Amino acid sequence: MPVLTFASKDEIPEGLEDSAKQNGDKWEVNVVPKAKLDEFRDNNIALAEERDTLKATNTQLSGLIGEDADNFKTELEALRRTAQQVSDGKLKKSDDIEKEVDNRVKQMKEQLEAQLIEAENKNKTLTAEVHDGKKKYANTVVDRHITDAVLKEESGVNPSALPDILSRARSTFKVNEKGEVVAMKDENVVMYGSDGATPMTADEWVTTLKKAAPHFFKGNTGGGAGGSDGNNKYPNGMSQEEFQKLPAQQRLAFANQALKGKVA
């Protein structure tokens, strides 16, 4: 699993503190624990099985009632009334039997309709939970995939920018039915790489961020942030060494200020 290493606890980006563990004089963050990934998968499987069981029950009840629920209701009510009157010894005429059957059919149908409504509502809830579980699982897979690309030395990315990069990646990369992570322009259009024939890789996508978000990369704060005079790319006239000694959160804040200044 991808592990980020920080020289001190203060350098750990916001949102990753709870996962940090001290190892000697360093702090390590396991970005995507395997146990969490397994939990998502197991929950999705369990929810899908329960949903399928409910669908089977709905099919059985629908087969019993038929397509015309009102007609079934009438027949069931009549049968139930008749059965009760026979049991009570009250049936003496055909009219009495018919009325009793109608009453019994009505009662039975109401019970079955209530069961169908309850089953349908539970099925909707389970379907929503399955969808939510799949989304969380997909985000976890995408996070692992992009993190591997970001942590490569040749990527040039500042590790403190990882949370922002992952947020962007989740709107671009999707997990298909085969479990593959693919860059998509929308739900149906694949983003292709530089060769125009194969889907864009995570490494290629990270490279595109150099233009869109240069402050994510080492040695680049976006230029002129925090009072730079234009001849020094670090804020407040700091040297590169001084800037790198700042906590990761403060460096990222300077970078964001520089980017906002360019947009403005």
Of 165 and 221, the structure prediction assigns the larger pLDDT to: 165
How high is the pLDDT of residue 131? 78
pLDDT over 50 (residue 263): no
Model confidence band, residue 99 (pLDDT cutoffs 50, 70, 90):
confident
What is the percentage of the chain residues whose pLDDT exceeds 70? Answer: 74
**Helix, strand, or coil (residue 245):** coil
pLDDT over 80 (residue 125): yes
Average pLDDT score over the chain? 77
Model confidence band, residue 238 (pLDDT cutoffs 50, 70, 90):
low
How high is the pLDDT of residue 203? 92
Of 255 and 47, the structure prediction assigns the larger pLDDT to: 47
How high is the pLDDT of residue 6? 82
Complete edge-to-edge strand list for the sheet that includes strand 3-6: 3-6, 26-30, 20-23
Mean pLDDT of 206-221: 84
pLDDT over 80 (residue 262): no
How high is the pLDDT of residue 259? 53
How high is the pLDDT of residue 232? 47
**Closest by Cα among 140, 117, 125, 122 to 40:** 140
CA dihedral (238, 3, 20, 253) in degrees, to 10, reads 30
- Distance of alpha carbon 227 from alpha carbon 244, whole angstroms: 17
Lowest-confidence pick of 94-103, 105-114, 116-125, 237-246: 237-246
pLDDT over 80 (residue 181): yes
Cβ-contact 176, 34 below 8 angstroms: no
Q: Which helix (H) or strand (E) holds 46?
A: helix 34-65
Cβ-contact 27, 20 below 8 angstroms: yes
Residue with tokens 């360093």: 26
Model confidence band, residue 229 (pLDDT cutoffs 50, 70, 90):
very low
